[in-house]
Amino acid sequence: MTDLARSAILLSSLAFLLGGCSSGATRTSPKSIVTASDFASPNPPATTHARTVPPAHDGVLDVNTPEGRSPGRPVDITGPVAASGGITDVQAVPGTPSQSIDDPAPISSAVLIDAKVGDVNGRPILVRTFFETGTPTQEALGPRLAAEARTRDRAAWLTYAREQINRRLDEYIRDELLRAEALSSLTPQERQGLFAVVERIQADMRREAGGTREQLKRQLETERGLTVDQWARKTEQMILVRRELERKINRGINVSWRDIEQAYYGRFRTTYQHPPRYRLYLVIIPNTQTADRAAFEQGLASGRAFDELAGSTLNRHQNNRGGLEVREVPGDLAATTFFPNPALDAAAKALGEGQTSDPVDLGDSTAWVHLAGIDPTPTLYGAQLDIEGRLRTERSNAAIDRYLLRLQGKANVSSVPQMRARLLQIAAERYGPN
């Protein structure tokens, strides 16, 4: 079970705890409150300012007393301490020093471990958090940028990295503003309820990891690169953001049946009111590539999914999109042309859902076509849940944008363009193509 799933389950518990605390239904017993007076003695001794100096033994001077430090009574220091000037336990090594203390030799070149690129309400935005550990609502961006650097040239990678960094930074600032706003509105009792929810999530994870805190610690460090305390802070922030969105945004979003009906017949008309769509996967392999053809046929015989094979490098037809071809059939299937090649077109029309054609000879290559399914024209009732979700998401995003504008007006945020430029520079140095 993921942290997000746990927090969703326990969010209702948090709402109950917070709601109960804030309503005044739960009261704290006076006996459960510890004050400073509980630690005071019932009969405190009389205050005295005079320090009692214990008598020194004959011939022994206590230098910790004013009498011992009196200028009129000098202390004679003799023995090894006096001979060494107060420096003892020193071992001399013969030979000439290889390096002057004033000019130490560098151990290695400087390496950037972490850096701050800006602040949001006094909280730093750290490079390591942004690229390596991630946030409660975001995965670490560094591994994805490194993976893309292996498949893109530098110009394409910079464009991709800039888009990802800009989007992630905007979300990072959004989450921090929401977290701070939610935290500032919590009462002391509500903070205790939040702490209890985080503790329950941690207890569940500890049981799944083996039952001990040490086992949970090893699991978090291995799988996520986090300490237990870091994980707790991340989980707390996730719950706070979800609570703030639910309290200030989601409760005010309403999508009526009339809204759904108007969207179905209006702005979403072309999206939902379409003819039946045939989802076809096409694989084409040149006849000269005998090894690839053998591997493809072996994959089919072993039960591998056709769409998986169509997206592999064995396929020479649009493998970057998995070989998918979508065809709409507004009327009679016989009057529709799927493919220009007559043999391939006939093979595709003869298929039922889930069927794969025999090899089709295209001259210098061989093709296979697979009918994954037929999407019928969705009715209003069939599309209502999807339309409601889209409308709710649109309105929620618009409401969040308006709310964030109000929060930014009273927040202290570093220059966003400068932070974007700095993050892109660091990403290019760490993860970009050589």
Q: 34-89, pLDDT tens digit by residue?
A: 444 444 444 554 444 444 444 444 444 444 444 444 444 454 545 444 444 444 44
Evaluate whether 272 touches 387 at the Cβ level (below 8 Å): yes
pLDDT tens-place string over residues 369-394? 999 999 888 889 989 999 999 999 99
Evaluate whether 124 touches 430 at the Cβ level (below 8 Å): no
pLDDT at 129: 82
- In the predicted model, what is the mean pLDDT of residues 288-308? 93
Q: What's the whole-model pTM score?
A: 0.51
Question: Closest Cα partner for 136 from 185, 105, 178?
Answer: 178
Single-letter residue type at 155: A
Residue found under tokens 């050589």: 434
pLDDT surpasses 70 at 285? yes
Pairing mode, strands 365-375 and 277-286: antiparallel
The contacts of residue 93 (CB under 8 Å, 6+ apart) are: none
Supply the mean pLDDT for the chain: 77
Quote the Cα angle for 243-248-250, to 5°. 80
Q: How far apart are CA 394 and CA 383, in angstroms?
A: 17
Fold for 274-375, please state it: Chitinase A; domain 3 (3.10.50)
pLDDT at 57: 44
Query: What does the domain layout of the chain look like in residue ranges?
Result: 116-252+415-431, 274-375
Q: How far apart are CA 61 and CA 67, in angstroms?
A: 9
Q: Is 399 exposed, middle or buried (0-12, 13-18, 19+ CB in 10 A)?
A: middle
